[in-house]
Chain A
Amino acid sequence: MAVPSFLARERIVARPGFNRWLIPPAALAVHLCIGQAYATSVYKASLVSHFESTLTAIGIIFSIAIVMLGLSAALFGTWVDRNGPRAAMFTSCVLWVTGFLVGGVGIEMRQLWLVYLGYGVIGGIGLGIGYISPVSTLIKWFPDRPGLATGMAIMGFGGGALIAAPLSRQLMSYYDPAYVPSDSTSVPNGEAVAALFFTLAALYLVFMMFGAFIVRVPANDWRPTGFDPASVKKKALVTTENVSANNAIKTPQFWLLWTVLFCNVTAGIGILEQASPMIQDFFRTGETSTVAAATAAGFVGVLSLFNMGGRFVWSSTSDFIGRKPIYMVYLGVGMLLYVILALFGSTASWIFVLTAAIIISFYGGGFATVPAYLRDLFGTYQVGAIHGRLLTAWAAAGVAGPLIVNGVLDTQGTPGQLVAANYRPALFIMVGLLAVGFIANLLIKPVSEKFWEPKATTPATARANPERSPVR
């Protein structure tokens, strides 16, 4: 599918002397906007009331968006790699903004299916394309620090929710003066949510277009000053070869990494999904918990900070200690922390908060480090498309994580009466999952030579024929 010339990759090849530090804010401009997807809980109760519906029916909006994220990242990854980041960011922006507009109209007209279609399907496709749009570009601009570069962008996805949640509350209180954001029982009316959707659409249009128009790709022969590509080869798992997306999914390394990401994300979601009730249940005596609702909300805030910070800190650290070792930390230390949480989490609140926060920082770190791990294993040739296909692990974990935790808790008792011991089976399942991920990571070896692209493969030839050379 051809794109208009002003979006074409050839138009955005940077001239010599271009400063690469303009690229991370371009990536952040997109990721900070699409990160709103994790702030949908702020208007969930309002939509339940507006549509006279259920939490499950409203929750489906978010579920559709995340499934579409995984599917579109997998399906359009090759298109993104071929047409470059401006076309991808522009398309993502159009879809994400259209999703809000259609969703807003759906809320105004009280047509829930329009919200499913708008925010869920159209916006969800924009999410997937937007998520992968800057990743391969950042890796090419920062061959000396790929973990730092992707960590910055994917940190933005975590940061997007931190911005959207308070901003949405403030805007809804402006559109519905009866709504008091500081009162947890106060719910804004549907019209306020629709107006919020239209406002966010306008804001995101400006931000994402800004990112799309300042982004550039490096020339094929560009190298950072003082960077010697030969130094990259010194690490055993880092290749200087290239593997196509079609070939990558035929390698055991892809599926081992898929397993690693799936296990790490499932374990993290186990805590994230239940964060607020979990801390209250861990410190419950009889019917009452020593942790108040406001304190539990503070715990969710702490987790959000560690989720975001972990993306940047751990991914940057991986540039120094290597991708395989850092996943050994995420999964191995993660196992230990889950055991501590299960056995000693209820003995002191600081133990509970500290272990959960570090686990969540590993969850974020796992997301942010995986593009650099893919670069190490498969090269830069179609790393965006390979990343897109790997994100199906996220979609699968998004289903599996809550299913495991909720399924176990359902067998343990009634919400509001659960205690720390009721969480142990679910937490030990997470330990098992992390062990599976740990072993999968240990089994990752360099990709076999038979999957390498011929040496003549360059981004230009790849764009001309993206499916070339099924095997070497």
Chain B
Amino acid sequence: MSHPATDDRQPTHTPAALIAFAWTLVGVPLAYGLYNTVKAASALFGG
């Protein structure tokens, strides 16, 4: 398979929306997990 050499490659631009979408996609489940864990952990402090 042939591919252009690195120097010949056309510059690109990563859309900020794609970066925001990607971070949201992983951030939302992580926030859900953190929220539930903090809720469980609060039992330790009488919460």
Known: A15-B9, A26-B22. A305 touches B14 (CB 8 A): no
CA distance A304 to B35 in the complex (A): 12
Q: How many A-B residue pairs have CB under 8 A?
A: 110
Known: A166-B33, A221-B6. A214 touches B12 (CB 8 A): no
Known: A159-B30, A353-B44. A305 touches B11 (CB 8 A): no
Cβ of B12 and Cβ of A162 under 8 Å apart? no
Q: When each residue 2-33 of chain A gets 1 if its CB lies under 8 Å from chain B and 0 otherwise, what string results? A: 00010010110111111101100110110010
Cβ of A298 and Cβ of B43 under 8 Å apart? yes
CA distance A13 to B12 in the complex (A): 12
CA distance A19 to B43 in the complex (A): 42
Please, how many residues of chain A have a CB less than 8 angstroms from a CB on the other chain? 45
Q: When each residue 24-47 of chain B gets 1 if its CB lies under 8 Å from chain A and 0 otherwise, what string results? A: 011001101110111011111100
Name B29's closest neighbour in chain A (CB-CB).
A163
Determine which of B7, B12, B30, B42 lies in contact with A17 in the assembled complex, contact meaning CB atoms within 8 Å. Answer: B12
Tell whether A302 is near chain B: CB-to-CB under 8 Å.
yes
B19: A residues at CB distance < 8 A: 19, 21-22, 25
Name A292's closest neighbour in chain B (CB-CB).
B43
- The DSSP consensus for interface residues of chain B is helix
B14: A residues at CB distance < 8 A: 17-19, 22
CA distance A22 to B14 in the complex (A): 8
Instruction: Determine which residue in B18, B19, B38, B43 has the highest number of CB atoms from chain A within 10 A of its CB, and name it.
Output: B43
Taking the closest CB of chain B, its distance from the CB of A79, in whole angstroms, is 18
Cβ of B11 and Cβ of A167 under 8 Å apart? no
Cβ of A163 and Cβ of B33 under 8 Å apart? yes
Known: A295-B43, A297-B43, A298-B44. A25 touches B1 (CB 8 A): no
Determine which of B3, B34, B40, B41 lies in contact with A10 in the assembled complex, contact meaning CB atoms within 8 Å. Answer: B3
CA distance A305 to B42 in the complex (A): 12
Task: Report A194-238 residues with CB < 8 Å from chain B CB.
Answer: 207, 210, 214, 219-222
CA distance A22 to B26 in the complex (A): 11
Task: Report A279-337 residues with CB < 8 Å from chain B CB.
Answer: 294-295, 297-302, 304-305
CA distance A297 to B44 in the complex (A): 8
Name A19's closest neighbour in chain B (CB-CB).
B14
Determine which of B3, B10, B23, B33 lies in contact with A25 in the assembled complex, contact meaning CB atoms within 8 Å. Answer: B23
Known: A8-B1, A15-B12, A25-B25. A299 touches B44 (CB 8 A): yes
- Ordered by A's residue number, 10 sampled pairs between the chains whose C-beta atoms are within 8 Å are A13-B6, A17-B12, A17-B13, A29-B22, A163-B32, A297-B40, A298-B40, A298-B41, A301-B38, A353-B44
